[in-house]
Chains A and B, each alone.
With several copies, the nearest count.
Chain A
């Protein structure tokens, strides 16, 4: 497989590129640098490190990351294709409520999970269809569906949290999984598997290359005979399946469907993708980067709390880290100025 086609390093000027320069090294390990810096930050004080750098805490952080991370995987596809989806938070709420309702209606957990995933896909199809049919920018369409999906969630839940009997779904994102040889929650493994699949799709399949092509130059893609509209609907639908799955896991995590939950989750998810090297103008983004982006943010929240920083210090630090992480990323592959 061609390695130069990696979506995370597409704009390197070709000719005068030294074979393994510092910049190339940076671009490979860049996302890890952010992770390392954050980890170091919280490991300076011994009394904090003592609780921070422990397997237990690691387990907690990765479990906390799962939902954002799966959302970020879907969002990576969308962002690489030059789109954006603001409805993620609402879709998480909608699908988690759906799973809860199915379970409450004595369906099997499988059916409930499948229902959440399917509904996520349906919302994705709606998003994609509106974007392509009305020629309205994704930002606006998904701002609209943000409201619509949220309304639908509240309606389904009759304005109330939907409780459901405990099933194995609740174990999916439990901090201490059963069986315990899993070490981390099944949801974490699921995320990793999904990440690998997504990365392979992006690199090795025609679909993946076409997603990059659309994000890179939509007109050129259309003129090259790609069925851009069709593909876009497909991309939003695919990402929607991820969001639906994340919603199912969100249900598992809370043991209930919360119609008002996950507000603002879209910003977290988008931030994860962009911290990981995704470009909102399309064509760029990396699966690994997005995962690490999600992890960095969870780690920041976790560490801030352990160190005992107030809420406002946390707000400020996370804001700074987002900017710095992306600024570092821009240094890695600086584009020629106009």
Chain B
């Protein structure tokens, strides 16, 4: 159980905000808890916590997400409950750009700083925004696919789920990239993969059954959909024959990349996101200086560049080192 981690309390440098012996309580609220992506964020936050502790600021991380990544109500409830617990600061990956506006406004009223991570929020009440440029990610993926296709061919994109802002931006970015290449036609871009690998697998099978024989390239906008498509390609005997670019990383996907079953993965830096967001939140609580907006960057990983040390740290964030 790693729900709450308490750093060693070695007294505080700022007794006015955090009286001696009492640590700062920062709630970190992901969109979900199951994906490796969120674990990396958690690990990054813990790294920041340990560094802060070493500098004499004790921070308690309250890690809690909604059960499902599409349950806006549940995430609102989580935020509100933390507010009633009087946490000192909040790091939030909003499930939705609109739905979380009012709880964040509540936080602002109570003078609790909120650092938004991962996805945007339609509001000005937050303290700082630490995120990836998802549209740029989609664009990178599209450019890579166009490159490996030699600028022509038929392409499939299966969307993730309705109402998921970050993947919608990736999809939009990808479509922009495709539009820029006249030799490429999109044969299917309006089906959805659904929330799990299983749903993505079925969806991919069905779409491939119709278009598989004529398809040259594929893009999938997140980890579970990329995984599902890999399974479907394997079934259809198309692994390696169709050019395929995915998004996000996991052990399986990295293996596929190595085997040249994927020609590219666009990865974010969730570890850095978690790390920076906690530091930013603590700075805000303590009234120190902080950045209003931080881009943690997207990187295109290809079979060629995947063994470079920078990419290796991106692909294998030191999760185990921080999360037992």
Contacts and interface: CB of A to CB of B under 8 A. Distances in A.
Direct contact of A and B (CB under 8 A): yes
Interface of A: 48, 51-52, 54, 56-57, 60, 63-64, 67, 154, 157, 159-161, 163, 170, 174-176, 250, 253-256, 258-263, 301-302, 305-306, 308-311, 314-315
Nearest to B81: A305
A56 B83 CA distance: 9
Nearest to B236: A175
B248 interface: no
A64 B162 contact: no
A135 B201 CA distance: 37
A159 B162 contact: yes
B84 A54 contact: yes
Interface in B187-232: 188, 190-192, 195-198, 201-203, 205-207, 209-210, 231
Contact of B62 (A253, A254, A308): A308
A51 B197 contact: no
B198 A254 contact: yes
A261 B100 CA distance: 14
A261 B4 contact: no
B85 A260 contact: no
6 contacts: A57-B84, A64-B202, A174-B102, A250-B198, A253-B231, A255-B102
Given A52-B209, A258-B163, 9 more contacts: A64-B80, A154-B162, A176-B237, A253-B102, A254-B102, A261-B163, A301-B206, A305-B210, A315-B67
Contacts of A308: 3-4, 62, 64, 188, 190-191
Interface string B120-140: 001000000000000000000
Interface in B33-69: 33-34, 36, 39, 62, 64-65, 67-68
A254 B4 contact: no
Contacts of A254: 72-73, 76, 96, 98-99, 102, 197-198, 201, 231
A163 B163 contact: no
A280 B208 CA distance: 37
Contacts of B74: 301
B205 A64 contact: yes
A56 B73 contact: no
Contacts of B81: 57, 60, 302, 305-306
B162 A255 contact: no
B96 A258 contact: yes
Contacts of A174: 102, 235
A67 B198 CA distance: 11
B98 A60 contact: no
A174 B236 CA distance: 10
A50 to B, nearest CB: 9
B101 interface: yes
B3 A310 contact: yes
A259 B163 contact: yes
Contacts of A175: 80, 106, 205, 235-236
B77 A64 contact: yes
B98 A311 contact: no
Contacts of B196: 258, 260-263
Given A255-B231, A301-B202, A161 B197 contact: yes
A60 B83 CA distance: 10
B295 interface: no
A305 B102 CA distance: 20
A163 B253 CA distance: 12
Nearest to A259: B162
Interface in B1-21: 1, 3-4
A305 B207 contact: yes
Contacts of B3: 308-310
Nearest to A164: B98
Contacts of B176: none
A262 B198 contact: yes
Given A261-B196, A309-B3, A161 B80 contact: no
A132 B3 CA distance: 37
A161 B98 contact: yes
Contacts of B207: 305-306
Contact of B34 (A57, A255, A259, A301): A259
A315 B68 CA distance: 12
Nearest to B86: A51
Nearest to A55: B84
A308 B203 CA distance: 11
A256 B78 CA distance: 18
A260 B161 contact: yes
B76 A253 contact: yes
A253 to B, nearest CB: 7
A250 B96 CA distance: 14
B206 A161 contact: no
A308 B96 CA distance: 24
B252 interface: yes
A52 B190 CA distance: 19
Contacts of A262: 73, 196, 198
A261 B235 CA distance: 20
Given A163-B122, A302-B81, A255 B210 contact: no
Nearest to B165: A161
B116 to A, nearest CB: 16
Contacts of A259: 34, 162-163
A264 B65 CA distance: 18
A69 to B, nearest CB: 14
A163 B85 contact: no
B96 A256 contact: yes
Contacts of A305: 64, 77-78, 81-82, 191, 203, 206-207, 210
A52 B201 CA distance: 18
B210 A160 contact: no
Contacts of A258: 72, 96, 99, 163, 196-198
